[in-house]
Structure 1
Amino acid sequence: MLITATRMLTGPAGRVTTDGAVLVRGATIAAAGPRAEVARLADPGEPVSDHPGATLLPGLVNGHVHLSLDASPDPVGGLRAAGAEALEADMTERAARLVRAGITTVRDLGDRGGAALRLRARIAGGEVPGPRLLTSGAPLTPPGGHCWFFGGEVADERAALDAVRRHAEAGVDLIKVVASGGHLTAGAARMWESQFSAAELRRIVGEAHRLGLPVAVHAHGTESIAAAVDAGVDTIEHCTWMDGSGRLERRDDVAARMAARGIAACCTTCGPDWRGTLASRGPRETRETYGRLAWMAECGVPLLPGTDAGVSQSGFDGMTGLLELYHWLGFSTARVLELATTGAARLIGLGATTGLIAPGFDADLLVVDGDPLADLGALRRVRLVVARGRVSTPAGDVAAGHPAP
């Protein structure tokens, strides 16, 4: 299949090809560049999907989703009430929504009963549409701790290490540890309170790394963030920087250690609701609430965009609202697009596989109407999505859900 568009953003930021084209063979990009050059490599009768006035770019990467949650006012209640069969059907539908919105890779950081592992296999095998799925299995948490409802409770350090090994044997892509409390779990630790000691985190991370698995740590409190950094985790989820009373406590020394060690912040609480905060509280308070993104960028901390899709009011239809927040905070549109594609792929360990439009990379592609470099809102106007060579949104003569020729 030959895909052409008025402009092509190959990644990283600043690489723009006018009148660009991509030649897809199976699940892989065979060629990419100016239309005239790439078209010469196409076979006679090659299916063509042409998009005048549109932009072709790498598929988006969402660093933090929960396919098992329904984004309702009570997502935990919905999960607890769902039977296994209904849950898997719902997760399948949510995965389809993600890919239709242009998201071709996600990390699912809260599974129950291995449902995400089974869905990962079905997507990879072409049975159902969806993004490339990296899953952590059930997050590790103390008994009754935040996110206990996923089934990952561990009573002590030995149980935690055993859980890491069981997850590895099951085939997860990463380990998630809930190092602080959170707002979803009634009666558990408060958001800023730590749930594991620094020593426990070090041993959990060490065991996961020994087994070749990266570690994502949920941490709102500054104390838990510092412990996670010292433990050598790979990403810190939320990374809210709360002190012992719930107020903001951004520590330059901890951020500097994150930057030096390449530990990414996936600030999922900076979601699409930011415009409501702006309207009700004004620019100053909105910057205080979400400004840690700009502060961490200034400190050199890698940033991984993620929406927390599945929690209340965070749907699966896209992540443009989050990306627009980055832009409002002062990030250029080119930088924002890089963060959500090339940069995100690298931070989750897939930098040699996806996030770039280049020969040999997976055919994870997005075509949008207009120019997202001029207006990130163009990302909402999806014309075509290709996830590992499979077309998930109809365009022209190409049928949705069918593999590319």
Structure 2
Amino acid sequence: MELLISAGQVLPGPAGRRVLDGAVLVRDSAIVAVGDRAEVGRLAGADAERRDFPDATLLPGLIDCHVHLAFDASPDPVAAVQGHDEATLFEEMAARARRLLDTGVTTVRDLGDRDGLAVRLRESIAEGRLPGPRVLAATAPLTVPDGHCWFFGGVVDGKDAIRTMVRRNAAAGADVIKVMATGGGLTKGGAAIWESQFSAEELRCVVAEAHDVGLPVASHAHGSEGIAASVAAGVDTIEHCTWMAEGGFDVREDVVAEIAARGIHVCPGASPNWRGFAERFGQERAMEIFGRVRWMAEQGVRLIAGTDAGVPRAVFDNLTGSLEFFDFLGFELDRILELATVDAATGIGLGDSTGRLAEGYRADLLVVEGDPLTELDALREPVLVLAAGRPHVPGS
């Protein structure tokens, strides 16, 4: 199948590149050409399907680097997970994946589910049996007994158990290994959100074993000790990175410098409900956390976009709301788009296949009315989405 899509402007990525009156030619699942409408049009075959959006913007499909498809974004998503059988939970996860696709998200990284359901969903989408974005699955996150998200089935105790669980996840089809370096707010009775769950030596064991089987490591780390240990262990991404400590915050500038020097990507996991977070935790505390994200970027830390979709109030159809968090912090709009396209793809290991519109890249793209370089709100109403070359009309 050949599809020629033209638009008033094309934003191939990275920031600064723009083609007025441009087009993209897609053949099957890949991009064949990008550029001037007339030039690209001449490459299309006589039987190519042609779609023209003269007042719209064509850009790479969006990437959400941190979701939990097993959670339902309700006030108690843990109860919802524990209360469903596999068939019901899989059906709900598939519906959430479709909702993500409706909003222009063509790749997601699922950082924790149960029973390998995200892997099953990944395969169903890849085979064209269900609509949805490409899914990178972590399967069961590694945690300690009674630790954060123990209910997903990734409990380990000691290095031998760590090695076994990493190998088990890899055999189950994991694309990434997730480790809960610190506690989290969802799990009652476990470690405090700032408190470390693994020693530095145990985290090194996680990374060594994961890298040995060719998988990257994403470290959930709110606490400063857990962040520092994750960096020393050589993880590939740090999730949240809020620098919490008992009774306050403990930002370690030397560790921030190391994150930047090592090229470790940080996903703040800004919920679409970030304004509500500020109301619940207080403006002063919230602004201390928010401002630190901007400061880390100024220190050279590579940020990527993620919503933590599925946790309370973090819905699956509002990545734009999370991107508005960076607008609030003063990031330029073209830079914000990079966080959810070019940079996100690089951060999750897909920089050579998606995140930009280029010859040979996977045909992940979306068309939106208006200009997201002027107003991010333009991203809220996609009129056409392609994931691996498959056209999807939102809401259809």
Structure 1 length as normaliser, TM-score?
A: 0.95
Asked if the contact 1:333–1:373 (Cα under 8 Å) also holds between the matched residues in 2, the reply is: yes
Alignment partner, residue 368 of structure 1: 368
Aligned residue among 131, 156, 159 for 1:157:
159
Aligned structure 1 segments of 4 or more residues deviating by more than 4 angstroms: 277-286
Asked if the contact 1:274–1:286 (Cα under 8 Å) also holds between the matched residues in 2, the reply is: no
Residue 322 of structure 1, CA deviation:
1.1
Alignment partner, residue 317 of structure 2: 317
Alignment partner, residue 168 of structure 2: 166
Residue 244 of structure 1, CA deviation:
2.5
Alignment partner, residue 109 of structure 2: 107
Secondary structure of the 2:201 match is helix
Asked if the contact 2:25–2:44 (Cα under 8 Å) also holds between the matched residues in 1, the reply is: yes
Residue 381 of structure 1, CA deviation:
1.4
Matched, 1:258 2:285: no
Q: Percent identity?
A: 57
Secondary structure of the 2:154 match is coil
Residue 262 of structure 1, CA deviation:
0.7
Aligned residue among 13, 16, 19 for 2:15:
13
CA gap 1:183/1:284 in 2 versus in 1, 3 angstroms: closer
Asked if the contact 2:242–2:289 (Cα under 8 Å) also holds between the matched residues in 1, the reply is: no
Asked if the contact 2:162–2:205 (Cα under 8 Å) also holds between the matched residues in 1, the reply is: no
Aligned residue among 188, 208, 211 for 2:210:
208
Q: Distance in 1 between matches of 2:233 and 2:255?
A: 12
Q: Distance in 1 between matches of 2:375 and 2:242?
A: 28
Secondary structure of the 1:126 match is coil
CA gap 1:281/1:244 in 2 versus in 1, 3 angstroms: closer
Q: Distance in 2 between matches of 1:239 and 1:213?
A: 21
Secondary structure of the 1:291 match is helix
Aligned residue among 237, 247, 258 for 1:235:
237
Alignment partner, residue 249 of structure 1: 250
Asked if the contact 2:101–2:394 (Cα under 8 Å) also holds between the matched residues in 1, the reply is: no
CA gap 1:138/1:279 in 2 versus in 1, 3 angstroms: closer
Q: Tell me which amino acid in the other structure corresponds to 2:210.
A: A
Residue 51 of structure 1, CA deviation:
1.1
Deviates more, 1:32-41 or 1:226-235: 32-41
Provide Cα deviations, 1:43-88, integer angstroms capped at 9, x if missing partner.
Answer: 1142111112110000001000000001111100000001010000
Q: Across the two proteins, how many residue pairs are aligned to each other?
A: 394
Structure 2 unmatched runs, 5+: none
Q: Distance in 1 between matches of 2:159 and 2:281?
A: 43
Matched, 1:27 2:33: no
Q: For 1:52-91, list aligned pairs within 5 A.
A: 52-91=54-93
Provide Cα deviations, 1:29-49, integer angstroms capped at 9, x if missing partner.
Answer: 011101111111111142111
Q: Tell me which amino acid in the other structure corresponds to 2:390.
A: R
Alignment partner, residue 328 of structure 1: 328
Q: Distance in 1 between matches of 2:277 and 2:238?
A: 24
Provide Cα deviations, 1:180-203, integer angstroms capped at 9, x if missing partner.
Answer: 000000000000000000010011
Residue 283 of structure 1, CA deviation:
7.2
Alignment partner, residue 403 of structure 1: none
Alignment partner, residue 385 of structure 1: 385
Alignment partner, residue 46 of structure 1: 48
Alignment partner, residue 301 of structure 2: 301
Secondary structure of the 2:23 match is strand
Asked if the contact 1:385–1:393 (Cα under 8 Å) also holds between the matched residues in 2, the reply is: yes
Q: Tell me which amino acid in the other structure corresponds to 1:221.
A: G
CA gap 1:280/1:118 in 2 versus in 1, 3 angstroms: closer
Q: Distance in 2 between matches of 1:204 and 1:242?
A: 23
Q: Distance in 2 between matches of 1:52 and 1:283?
A: 43
Secondary structure of the 2:45 match is coil
Q: For 1:185-224, list aligned pairs within 5 A.
A: 185-224=187-226
Asked if the contact 1:102–1:318 (Cα under 8 Å) also holds between the matched residues in 2, the reply is: no
Residue 156 of structure 1, CA deviation:
2.0
Q: Tell me which amino acid in the other structure corresponds to 1:226.
A: A
Q: Tell me which amino acid in the other structure corresponds to 2:72.
A: D
Q: Tell me which amino acid in the other structure corresponds to 2:145.
A: P
Residue 252 of structure 1, CA deviation:
0.9
Residue 285 of structure 1, CA deviation:
5.5
Provide Cα deviations, 1:140-190, integer angstroms capped at 9, x if missing partner.
Answer: 001110000111111222111100011112221010000100000000000
Residue 288 of structure 1, CA deviation:
1.8
Q: Distance in 2 between matches of 1:275 and 1:65?
A: 19
Alignment partner, residue 150 of structure 2: 148
Q: Distance in 1 between matches of 2:98 and 2:76?
A: 22
CA gap 1:394/1:238 in 2 versus in 1, 3 angstroms: closer
Q: Distance in 2 between matches of 1:321 and 1:107?
A: 18
Deviates more, 1:384-393 or 1:276-285: 276-285
Q: Tell me which amino acid in the other structure corresponds to 1:393.
A: V
Q: Distance in 1 between matches of 2:273 and 2:220?
A: 20
Q: Distance in 2 between matches of 1:199 and 1:373?
A: 45
Alignment partner, residue 180 of structure 1: 182
Provide Cα deviations, 1:258-301, integer angstroms capped at 9, x if missing partner.
Answer: 00101111111x22223345678997665323112111101111
Structure 1 unmatched runs, 5+: 401-405
